[in-house]
Amino acid sequence: MSENRGAKIIIREIAAADHRLTLRDFDGNRITHGEFTRKHEVRKVPTVMVADAQGRLLAEPLIGLITPDFYNFYLERAIDEGRLQLRSRAAQ
């Protein structure tokens, strides 16, 4: 992992097909998990998206299991890329 270790991240698990469970989307609106996945065009699970507080993607989404042996590597890389994007935006 990069030097960004310790920076706060929020991880949410979304039940893609659930139209009863609700959450607050990036705009603060209450929507169902199913509506959220449809809005963000999630077609396969698992899908991991690294986004800022406004919902803008900070790294390429991880779609599907890819390679189980290397999944943690890909996940950490996406998180690190997101943190770097946020730091570069803050520096501007």
Question: What are the structural domain ranges in the chain?
Answer: 22-91
Residue 79 CA to residue 92 CA, distance in Å, equals: 20
CA dist., res. 16 & res. 72, Å (int): 22
Instruction: Give the tens place of pLDDT for each residue, 22-40.
Output: 999 999 999 999 999 999 9
Whole-structure pTM value: 0.81
Mean pLDDT, to the nearest integer, of 40-56?
94
Measured distance CA(72)–CA(70) in Å, rounded: 6
Q: How far apart are the C-alpha atoms of 92 and 83, rounded to whole Å?
A: 15
Residue 92 has pLDDT above 90, yes or no: no
Q: How far is the C-alpha of 32 from the C-alpha of 23, rounded, in Å?
A: 6
